[in-house]
Every structure is written in C-alpha cells, then in structure tokens.
Amino acid sequence: MSFSSLGLTPAVLRALVTLGHDTPTPVQLQAIPLVLAGHDLLAAAQTGTGKTGGFALPVLTNLFPEGAPRHAGRTPRVLVLTPTRELAAQVHDSFKQYGAHVPLRSTTIFGGVGMQPQVDALRRGLDIVIATPGRLIDHMGQRTIDLRDIEVLILDEADRMLDMGFLPALKRVLQALPHKRQTLMFSATFSDEIKQLAAQFLRDPREVSVTPRNTIADTIQHIVHPVDASRKRSLLIDVMAQDSRRQTLVFARTKHGANKLAESLDAAGFKSAAIHGNKSQGARTKALADFKSGRITVLVATDIAARGLDIPQLPVVINFDLPMVAEDYVHRIGRTGRAGETGQAISLVSHDESGLLHDIQRKIKQEIVIQHFEGYVPSGPLRIDAGAPRPIMGGRGGQRGGGGGGGGGQRSSAGKPGAHRPHHAKPASTGAKPGQRRNQDASRGNAGGGSRSGWTSRA
C-alpha cells in the first residue's frame, strides 16, 4: 500500500515524494487513518520504525486540508511534548520536511537556550509547538504561551517522560489544555504505567502495536567483554582500535563519566565529543551534527541525552557502563541495526555489573556472546544469575563485591585486538578512581536531559 491511499493531502504527498518515501511503515499504515479520523491513539512501535511520520503526516493533513490553514490565528493548535531537546529538534525537523509545501509556522521550546527568541516566535503566531515539559512550564508561568486553542496533544517517548519524573509537569500542562482535544501517545515501548497514564489522559483510545514490547532487531549481535572495572577505559580504547574509522556511540552512566571518557578517547587519537544534560544546547547540537557528518567518530552519551537520536547506519553501540534498568539497554542498542542493517552491541562488563547483565538477558531473550578480549581477562568470572552483584544507589565508595560462580549459559569465544591503535594514539588511561565524586544526572524540566547516577555496588 502507498501513502497516496491513506488520505493524505497532495501537499504532504509531494513532500514525501521529494524525500523519497513511497511506502508507509507498519506503524504509519495503522496510525495515519486513525489520526485522520480524529481518534485518540496509544501507539507502541520499536525505535526507528517511522513513528514520527505516524503522527506528523496526518496532523499536517488535518491542519492544512487544502494546502492552506483552516484559520490563521496566532495561538498554536498542535502541541508536541518530548523528553529531550534532541528529540524535540528532530521532531521539528520532520514536521518541516513533511510540511515543506504548506505555510507551516512552528518552533521548538526547550531549555539550554534563551527564552526571548521563543517568546518572539510565539508572539508572531504558530501552528505547532514542539516542547520539553520543563521549559513549557516556564512559559506558562510567565504567560508567554496560550494553550487554549490546542486541538491536538502529542506525547512522544511518553515512557521516558515518566522515567524522568515529568508526570507532575504533564498534569499541569494538561490542566491548561482544552478538554475537547485529540491526544496521541507514541513511544518505542509502553509499560503498564504508561497504560495507566493513557487511561487518565486519553478518551476511548485506539491502540496500535507493531512490535511486541521490548522487541529488538534480530540483525544486532550482542557481545560482552568481561573486564575488571579499573581496566575498562583501556579496554574501550583497544576495542575501538579494531576499526578506528567506524562511527561509534558509547554510553556512560553519568555526565561526569561521559566527559572523562570523551577526554580519554580524544587523547588516545579518536575524535570524540560528549552529550549530556549539563552541556549547552549549542554544544549538544554541534556534537550531534559533527557525529552525523563524520567530523568526529565517537559520541559519548548518557541515556537521557541520547533518547531519540536518529543516526542512519550506525554500525556499533558500546555500553561502557551497563544501564541500571534493562529496558534502557533496548533503547541504547536501538540506535544500530536499523532498517535491516546489521549492527553490534558491545558491553564492557565488570563483576559488580553481573546482575545488570542478568536482567538484560532476561529482558531481551536473545543470545549474548561472552568474549574474553585478549589481555583483559578479569580476575574473577561474571556471575549471571538472580543473585549476582549489581550497583546500588547511595554510597560514595565504589567498593565492589567479590566471589562469583559460573556464567548463565552463554557461549564463550575468544576475541583478539586484531588491529593497532591510530598512529597518533597515546597510551590508554585507567578506569575511574574508587573515590570518584557522586554525579547527579537527574533530569531538569527546562533542560530536557539527565540520567541516573551516584552508584556504588554490593555483592
């Protein structure tokens, strides 16, 4: 089935032709007719399945049914809420591309940049506002935005907004919206908590689910390199030296850790940058643009900052730190293996993260290959069972539990470095010191970013 059979306007179809999009994805095929018909929608689709088009295309068709707006008022008619600045910018870009042949007025509203340009755009008049909850609340408090004419509310990556503690902000925003509106909730996954949220905010919603919860592309190879925590940074450099030219997305648990990793990789000869909630919006935008263009080969990110990143044909994702929540592993590695491409998800796992690896294996229900990288065999084996050690929140020390039994049934094979570091590489630095200070990476409303931090471990 083609886009032309879904009821989209000629102006929107023309934009799709220009973009080279001729066949709707499964989520678009199911969602577009429902949104066009005015239904509330609860949609779950795996990252990279085109869910932005699933709401942007029908919304533009409804806003501009004849290629022109139904009315030219100054107050916005569509509000899109996203958890991060990067996702807001990405969604805005999609709206501009799909709306290239209609007189669309749109803007983004998020923290990390000045408010005045946003205020000026609101005063000039807008059709669509894409915002992070915190900065939107700021504008509401200063009475610089009027939400009384909102016809459509879209919650994108709604599960992450809950993870980031945005529920109170979402409720405040909803109180300012008209009761009569269309509400759409889109996300890579939907937890039971999201379904409860939908029951509060949506009216008789239609449901779309094109993949089971937490489905992972079968084109991704999952590899674990066991390593002592103190040698992780050295191992990361040697792993990346196998092919120093390939684009690599590296995940760290904290903002401070992301900065240190980027500095170490840069010193070792890899062009690197870090993105996280403490970075200015300009720095984050530049880092992402440099990564996409190939000016840098390594992007080090925290979970929240990387949510929604769309990086075509990314060959590898490396987990320097395993995520504390197994579902975040799904979101991390969803950046590779897209659109049928192959990808690698490599995790550097120390003994104190064994329990997290156990959680991930239970969540993804796929084979994880354990490879001992030559020269980095750890002092003790990983324990991959329900009682395995895992980091916990609270302390400062970073002491690690000892002991451990056998693995959880994954096959093991030997990995070798296979290639030299770049010719200008410097010796690798060691891992983080045990007394490393606690780094808070909690989300801020007007920053649109953050992640969990402040972890120690137990056996």
pLDDT at 164 over 90: no
Decide: 422 and 269 in contact? Cβ < 8 Å.
yes
Quote the pLDDT of residue 122: 96
Domain extents in the chain: 3-209, 220-458
pLDDT tens profile 75-84? 999 999 999 8
Q: Which residues contact 358 (CB under 8 A, 6 or more apart)?
A: 384, 385, 386, 388, 408
Region 383-403 average pLDDT: 57
Quote the pLDDT of residue 73: 80
Architecture of the domain spanning 3-209: 3-Layer(aba) Sandwich (3.40)
pLDDT at 376 over 50: yes
Q: Which residue has the tokens 């070792």?
A: 268
Average pLDDT, the chain: 81
- Which burial class, exposed, middle or buried, applies to 367 when counting CB atoms under 10 A from its CB (0-12, 13-18, 19+)? exposed
- Categorize the per-residue pLDDT at 66 as very low, low, confident or very high, splitting at 50, 70 and 90: confident
pLDDT at 446 over 60: no
pLDDT tens profile 222-281? 999 999 999 999 999 999 999 888 899 999 999 999 999 999 999 999 999 999 878 887
Span of 49-58, 323-332, 443-452 with lowest mean pLDDT = 443-452
pLDDT tens profile 179-216? 999 999 987 666 777 788 888 889 999 999 876 555 67
Span of 118-132, 278-292, 403-417 with lowest mean pLDDT = 403-417
Quote the pLDDT of residue 308: 60
- Categorize the per-residue pLDDT at 363 as very low, low, confident or very high, splitting at 50, 70 and 90: confident
Region 50-68 average pLDDT: 90
- Which burial class, exposed, middle or buried, applies to 381 when counting CB atoms under 10 A from its CB (0-12, 13-18, 19+)? middle
Q: Of 163-177, 224-238, 370-384, where does the model show the most confidence?
A: 224-238
Quote the pLDDT of residue 445: 38
Quote the pLDDT of residue 268: 94
Strands 128-131 and 106-109, sheet pairing = parallel
pLDDT tens profile 413-443? 344 333 434 434 444 443 333 333 333 333 3
Quote the pLDDT of residue 325: 86
Q: Of 43-52, 132-141, 443-452, where does the model show the most confidence?
A: 132-141
Architecture of the domain spanning 220-458: 3-Layer(aba) Sandwich (3.40)
Percentage of the chain beyond pLDDT 70 is 79
Quote the pLDDT of residue 181: 96
Say if 3-209 and 220-458 have the same CATH topology: yes
Quote the pLDDT of residue 340: 63
Quote the pLDDT of residue 282: 82
* Alpha carbons 247 and 232: distance in angstroms, whole number: 20
**Looking at per-residue confidence, does 283 or 153 come out higher?**
153
- Categorize the per-residue pLDDT at 50 as very low, low, confident or very high, splitting at 50, 70 and 90: confident
